[in-house]
Amino acid sequence: MAPVEAQMRVLMSGTEFGDADTARTMERELVERLEEDRPLRIYCGYDPTSVDLHLGHTLTMRKLRQFQDFGHEVTFLIGNFTGLVGDPSDKNHERPMLTPEQLAENATTYTQQAFRVLDGESTTVRYNADWLGRLGFADVLRLCSKFTVAQFLKRENFARRYERGDAIHLNEFMYALMQAYDALHLDTDVQVGGTDQLFNLMAGRTLQQDAGKRPQVVLTLPILVGTDGHARMSKSTGNTIGIDDSPSDIYGKVMSLPDSAIVDYFTLVTPLAPDEVDAVRTALDGGTLRPMEAKKRLAWEVTASLYSAEEAAAAQAYFESTIQRRETPEEMPEHPLDGRAALTRVLTEAGLATSNGEVRRLVAQGAVALNGEPVEDFTIEVAPGDEIRVGRHRFLRLVEDAR
RNA sequence: GCAGGGGUGGGAGAGUGGCUAAUUCCAGCGGACUGUAAAUCCGCCGCCUUACGGCUACGCAGGUUCGAAUCCUGCCCCCUGCACCA
């Protein structure tokens, strides 16, 4: 196995803990385990309620992958039991009760997407319903007895809501218990999670210690900001970069990040080694690397890591041509047309505008071009062979309807 | 069940009889500027209509009124607390 120091440098990169003490403890304990010079067992749990993974979800996967690359064993845990129970206290937050079929389906797409980052060959997939579903009430009570209400209320999340008089449901406490029990059951060396999961991960340590086992090492990763550069990346904010987005979309969206996010993105969502990231940071600080060049490299890396070097290169070429030089791309979405038709109809049908009124607006604002010429009258007709540009980078080529 | 608080455009949140297609903010879109962005500035931002204009909209259904998101009646739903829980 690689030298412990080399591993530590990579494995600790990007991690973020609530406080310095925790960080030191985890660092020390991880070193201890690595020094045993054996494949460690790592896991991270995923909630299969949502299907569309975005870059924010990949941070932990990236971390798991780093472990894999050093020859450690990764367990990809699907929290299907949690999804089965749902979260009645959180009705409007996409935590519905899912049927076993839905869950199974989600789990499948989930792992498929995850394996874009993970090495599927050496990943063990497990489902927590396999053990959580077998616990009896007495077992649950026993688990409950290991924690106190005060411990839970100390959590900022709960404390604030309790102060405000908001509802805190008992099952919200149970989620931490379930996660903690997962850790106890899996008996792995390290658990990875987001910083928002720190409490739950630490609860796992509590149970393990209580059971006379060595508590797991806990590694937490920060929350990734979205394309706006500020808010947490999430679907509801609409600032996501989806794993299943096209290479060009991914590339373009990464390019739209503000400069402030560059280094964090390099660290958290690319396979670059810490030394390489440091080199980028230094070059940026020293002014020898222009932010845009750094970002193009970033966009390339992110795209390539989810697709391939070829597709990343193509996405980059498209970006340089279409966005930077404002050229008309070779390839553009095509829209079949049977003879001439009103511009309004074509644009709404093609989804480039949601209503005729919007077409009018776009034209009035000079956002629509037909074959390179700005359109001034929204009542014009278009015909197969025409190329339409809407805004900066939306194109449409009209083709003869091949019926 | 009791008490209180709510349901307004993608979100937040004003508005308590006409001046409101509905203040404002966020998001979104377009333009300018750029390094693609971000920041900033300008414009747009319900639907139909070349236009005039029309239509639909403030939980649902009725009603009062010349006129209602705004008043009345009934209903539905949500939130919080209390009560109940063989």
Q: Which CATH number fits the domain that encloses residue A216?
A: 3.40.50.620
Q: Are residues A340 and A306 part of one domain?
A: no
- CB count in 10 Å sphere of residue A339: 9
d(CA A227, CA A289): 22
Nucleotide nearest to A391 (CA to C1'): B30
Q: Are residues A355 and A262 part of one domain?
A: no
pLDDT of residue A299: 94
Q: Give pLDDT tens digits for A242-270.
A: 888 889 889 988 998 888 889 999 999 99
**Domain final position from A283, A302, A324:** A324
Q: Are residues A346 and A317 part of one domain?
A: no
Phi, psi of A322 (to 5 degrees): -75, -45
**Domain final position from A277, A293, A324:** A324
Q: Are residues A353 and A310 part of one domain?
A: no
Residue-number span of the structural domain to which A18 is assigned: 4-221
Q: How far is the CA of A319 from the C1' of B43 (A)?
A: 27
pLDDT of residue A91: 38
Q: How confident is the model at residue A300 (pLDDT cuts 50, 70, 90)?
A: very high
pLDDT of residue A89: 47
Question: What token pair was written down for A375?
Answer: 């359109």
Query: A50, A94 in Cβ contact below 8 A?
Result: yes
d(CA A393, CA A352): 11
Q: Are residues A312 and A215 part of one domain?
A: no
Q: How far is the CA of A345 from the C1' of B32 (A)?
A: 29
> Is residue A93 a part of any domain in this protein?
yes
According to DSSP, the residues that pair with A76 across neighbouring strands are A44, A125
Query: A270, A261 in Cβ contact below 8 A?
Result: no
Q: Give pLDDT tens digits for A30-54.
A: 999 999 999 999 999 998 776 778 8
**Domain final position from A276, A304, A324:** A324
CATH (domain of A304): 1.10.240.10
Q: Are residues A105 and A16 part of one domain?
A: yes
> Is residue A228 a part of any domain in this protein?
no
Contacts of A84 by beta carbon, 8 Å cutoff, 6+ apart: A97, A98, A100, A103, A129, A133
Question: What token pair was written down for A134?
Answer: 């077998």
Q: Kindly report the average pLDDT of chain A as a whole number.
A: 87
Question: What token pair was written down for A37?
Answer: 């010079």
Q: Are residues A309 and A211 part of one domain?
A: no
Phi, psi of A98 (to 5 degrees): -110, 150
Closest protein CA to C1' of nucleotide B37, residue: A256
Mean pLDDT computed over A134-162: 83
Q: Are residues A285 and A151 part of one domain?
A: no
Q: Could you give the ipTM of this predicted complex?
A: 0.81
Q: Give pLDDT tens digits for A69-124.
A: 999 999 999 988 877 665 544 433 444 566 777 778 888 888 988 999 999 888 99
Q: Are residues A283 and A346 part of one domain?
A: no
d(CA A237, CA A53): 14
Q: Are residues A116 and A190 part of one domain?
A: yes
Q: How far is the CA of A380 from the C1' of B52 (A)?
A: 21
Nucleotides of B under 7 A from a protein CB: 27-31, 35-38, 43-51, 78-81
Q: Are residues A372 and A271 part of one domain?
A: no
**pLDDT exceeds 80 at position A180:** yes
Query: A398, A383 in Cβ contact below 8 A?
Result: yes
> Is residue A140 a part of any domain in this protein?
yes
Contacts of A184 by beta carbon, 8 Å cutoff, 6+ apart: A204, A207, A208, A211, A213
Distances from the Cα of A76 to the Cα of A126, A192, A330, angstroms = 6, 11, 41
> Is residue A240 a part of any domain in this protein?
no
Q: Are residues A274 and A292 part of one domain?
A: yes
Domain tally for chain A? 3
CB-based contacts with strand B under 7 Å?
A 91, 165-167, 228-229, 238-239, 255-259, 290-292, 295, 323-324, 344, 348, 354-358, 360-362, 365-367, 379, 390-392, 394
Query: A80, A48 in Cβ contact below 8 A?
Result: yes
d(CA A185, CA A182): 5
CATH (domain of A338): 3.10.290.10
Distances from the Cα of A176 to the Cα of A56, A82, A173, A256, angstroms = 21, 11, 6, 37
Q: What is the DSSP secondary structure assignment for residue A103, as one 8-state letter?
A: H
